[in-house]
């Protein structure tokens, strides 16, 4: 499974998940750190990612509005245990 991690989740999570998901990437790996949600969604679609992992509800909305992509069939909405700057931090 090819996963794309959004900017609101720290890139530091990648090494923790890499053993289980060898094709996990952070958007900063592709120079998309300042890209808007739709650009990231389209990048994921065009580059055969299976899921976008995010703390942002907008990806779920994009998935509902734009329909499932060729590969993106999941927009995982995580609580931000790993990134306290997200604003959705679990206590």
Domain hosting 45: range is 2-86
pLDDT at 68: 65
- Round to whole Å and give the CA distance between 62 and 80: 20
- Give pLDDT tens digits for 8-44: 888 898 999 999 999 999 999 999 988 998 898 889 8
The angle that helices 37-46 and 57-66 make with each other, rounded to 10 degrees, is 60
Confidence of residue 55 (pLDDT cuts 50, 70, 90): confident
User: Cβ(67)–Cβ(45) under 8 Å?
Assistant: no
pLDDT at 59: 74
Kind and range of the H or E element at 59?
Answer: helix 57-66
Structural domain total, the chain: 1
Q: Is residue 91 part of a domain?
A: no
Q: Is residue 8 part of a domain?
A: yes
50: tokens are 């299976």
Q: Is residue 62 part of a domain?
A: yes
What is the pLDDT of the chain when averaged over all its residues? 77
Q: Is the pLDDT of residue 73 over 90?
A: no
């Amino acid at each position: 499974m090819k996963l794309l991690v959004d900017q609101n989740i720290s890139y530091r999570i990648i090494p923790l998940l890499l053993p289980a998901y060898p094709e996990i990437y952070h958007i900063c790996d592709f120079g998309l750190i300042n890209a808007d949600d739709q650009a990231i969604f389209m990048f994921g679609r065009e580059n055969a990612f299976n899921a976008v992992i995010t703390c942002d509800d907008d990806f779920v909305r994009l998935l509902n509005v734009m329909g499932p992509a060729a590969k993106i069939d999941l927009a995982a909405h995580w609580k931000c245990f790993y990134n306290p700057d997200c604003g959705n931090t679990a206590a």
